[in-house]
Chains A and B, each alone.
Chain A
Amino acid sequence: MNDFRTSILPAAARLVVPVQCVFSIYLLLRGHNLPGGGFIGGLVLASALVLRAMVAPSRAPKFDLIVLSGIGLLVALASAAMPWLGGGTFFTGLWGGQIWLPTVGKIKLGTPLLFDIGVFLVVTGVAAKLLLVLMSQTDESDA
């Protein structure tokens, strides 16, 4: 891991990382009809995780990022399979009510949102894993 210990980066990261985390959720939730979505949100969250790890290697994610993307795949598949289990066609959108959130606005709940959450997890896991492996110059034997 490169040595990024200046005083500027940690100070900036302390401010930026929480904003990135919230913003990634914001992008995820508004993505169905507006610019955003699981893919972009996942990239933003991954960059937050990587920034934290850059500032202090001890803050690298403790959970297995590959498992996270595996869970994401299963969530996405579940969203596609749910209408099938209900007797419909694969990938048919099932909608169940809507909620209102500040700044994001109206969110329709349903399988498309679940699919986006799956994509969000896959992209977060894979992108963060890629960047962290490339950053750690040593060969990660279990990567």
Chain B
Amino acid sequence: MDFQPIALPIALPLLAVGLLLCLRRAGEPVRHAINILSCVAQAVVAVILYLRVSADGVQALRSGSWPAPFGITLVADLFSAVMVLVTAVIGLGSALYAAGYGTGKFRGYFAPLYQALLLGVNGSFLTGDLFNLYVWFEVMLMSSFVLVALPGGRPQFEAAVKYLTLNFIASAFFLVGLGVLYGMTGTLNMADLSVKIAALGDNGLILSSAVLFLVAFGIKAGVFPFYFWLPSSYHVTPTPVAALFAGLLTKVGVYACARVFTLVYGGQQEFLAPLLLAIGVLTMITGVFGAASQFFIPRILSFHIISQIGYMIIGIGFFTRAALAATVFYVVHHILVKANLFLIGGVIGRRTGSQELSMTGGLYKKAPWLAILFLIPAMSLGGIPPLSGFFAKFVLVREGLAIGQGWVIAAALAVGLLTLYSMVKIWNEAFWKDAPLGDRQPDRKVPFLMLAPCVALAACTITFGIFPGVFLDVADRAAAQLTDPTAYIEAVLPSSPPSPAEP
């Protein structure tokens, strides 16, 4: 019996959703236990999948045994496998954190929605079919919308409506793009599209479908000028949800950009590159300025997601192997660091009673270990060596200079400095200054389950910094598969002739 590790990252969360719905009258500890167990199982499967892809090359699974362009193919190349692995890590971390944080406001639906969200994210990373990608986007959208809205309250509803409306617009753009593409080529299998679009050559409709996808994925990823849903929705969600959103949801948009614009639109890169670079630079700058003007920890962090997404988009916009490797490395680094910052923000909020910077303070005296724990991901985000963020930025900057995109790199470095400013602002306000309420400042206990994931994720960040070569090598191999999709196409369409002349 073949173990089929590609299907399991989708089957496991689905199993958990079914079980959790059946057991919804069971106590909260039972639900959290199932949630955590499912995440552990996903992590194990993700490791197996990664090892197999790493050893044997691109894996493809024809679901239902239907041959490739007709059935839905699940494909895992190195980039997909790495993303599934990071998803499992963040999923496990946030699930543990949620068990300590308490999810009473979700009235028993936290765990099933959480697993449904992981289902959508894993599906997006593993599908080899564009329409199927749309379906996974909808799975993610529905579960994340309910996660935003369910705790109730006016700000939550306001955020949920904004979030849902803008993401529905993204879905509409995505669907129109799919329609155009299907009308042109008669297929939505990505490997098949890659071959057929290359045969079609330059064509206005192909380019317009590429731009429609750029808008759709751009809204998902939170790039300029479509980012405004992000800072107006993330900060009202409970911390474990916000961490999962911050880590994963926008990165699915980045992943979709990297996948579709390298694989499907491989021949249209001259048209796409300047667009992506301009969007990337504007995203970085607006995001970081937005963050500088905020004083509520989750809002500062939300704006920083946007500015960091800019770096990843730039890496895609360069379209070289080294730049794509930088993007892969950056995505992984950012998922770990950003989710951790949200989690630590939640710990700060739990201890001092608020995440509003004017209400916090004095934490350095009371909890120096928490200060250090915050400093690790914060400095990594700012790009201070020897942490993971430095190597992510370093590879991108080196490649940008090598291919003569100095102005992009100048913007990237300036934004890095401003990122550091925001992190130091949180540091000063939450840790360094005296507690604003003096002795009356609340100092509550933080459960162990909330701290353990923060420590583990910080350890990941440090590991990335100590052994950057190992991880950069993986990113480079993933980027090699992105720049040369032959192996991907070969895995999906084994018998495809080298250059078929399709009508």
- Chain A positions near chain B (C-beta within 8 angstroms): 64, 66-67, 69-71, 73-74, 77, 80-81, 84-85, 87-93, 141-143
Chain A nearest CB: distance from B119 CB in Å? 11
A136 CB to nearest B CB, Å? 16
Contacts A88-B65, A89-B64, A143-B107 known; A67 to B22 CB distance under 8 Å? yes
Q: A90-B64, A91-B63, A93-B64 are in contact. Are A73 and B4 (CB under 8 A)?
A: no
Of the listed stretches B7-15, B336-344, B443-451, chain A binds B7-15
A residues within 8 A CB of B20? Answer: 70
Contact partners of B107 in chain A: CB under 8 A: 141-143
- CB pair A70–B64 under 8 Å, yes or no, is no
Interface residues of B in 1-27 (CB under 8 A from A): 1-2, 4, 7, 11, 14-15, 17-25
A residues in contact with B64, CB < 8 Å: 89-93
Question: Which residues of B have CB within 8 Å of A88?
Answer: 65
Q: Does B288 contact A (CB under 8 A)?
A: no
Q: Contacts A74-B15, A80-B11, A87-B2; is A92 near B65 (CB within 8 Å)?
A: yes
User: Does residue B52 face the partner (Cβ distance < 8 Å to A)?
Assistant: no
B22 touches A71 (CB 8 A): yes
Q: How far is the CB of B394 from chain A (nearest CB, A)?
A: 41
Using A89-B62, A89-B65 as known contacts, say yes or no to A74 and B4 having CB atoms under 8 A apart: no
Of A66, A89, A143, the contact of B61 (CB 8 Å cutoff): A89
When C-beta atoms are compared, the residue in chain A nearest to B116 turns out to be: A73
Chain A residues with Cβ below 8 Å from B21 are 66-67, 69-70, 73
> Which B-chain residue is minimally distant from A139 (CB atoms)?
B152
Tell me the nearest residue of chain A to B14, going by C-beta: A77
> Cβ of A77 and Cβ of B24 under 8 Å apart?
no
Alpha-carbon distance A67/B108, docked complex (angstroms): 12
Residues of B254-269 at the interface with A, using a CB-CB cut-off of 8 Å, are: none
A74 & B65 in contact (Cβ 8 Å cutoff) = no
Listed from nearest, the 9 A-B pairs whose CB atoms lie closest are A70-B21, A73-B18, A74-B18, A70-B22, A91-B64, A90-B7, A92-B65, A91-B63, A87-B1
> Bound complex: CA of A74 vs CA of B23, how far in Å?
12
User: When chains A and B are docked, how far (Å) is the Cα of A119 from the Cα of B149?
Assistant: 26
Which of A64, A67, A69, A73 counts the most chain B CB atoms within 10 A?
A73
B157 CB to closest chain A CB, in angstroms?
Answer: 14
Question: Bound complex: CA of A81 vs CA of B18, how far in Å?
Answer: 14
* Known A89-B65, A90-B7; 10 more pairs at CB < 8 Å: A66-B21, A70-B18, A70-B19, A71-B18, A71-B22, A73-B17, A74-B15, A74-B18, A74-B19, A77-B14
Contact between chains at B65 and A77 (CB < 8 Å): no
Give every chain B residue within 8 A of A69 (Cβ-Cβ): 21
Smallest distance from the beta carbon of A115 to chain B beta carbons, Å?
10
- With both beta carbons as reference points, the residue of chain B lying nearest to A71 in the complex is identified as B22
Most buried by A among B19, B61, B64, B108: B64
Bound: A81/B63 CA distance, A: 11
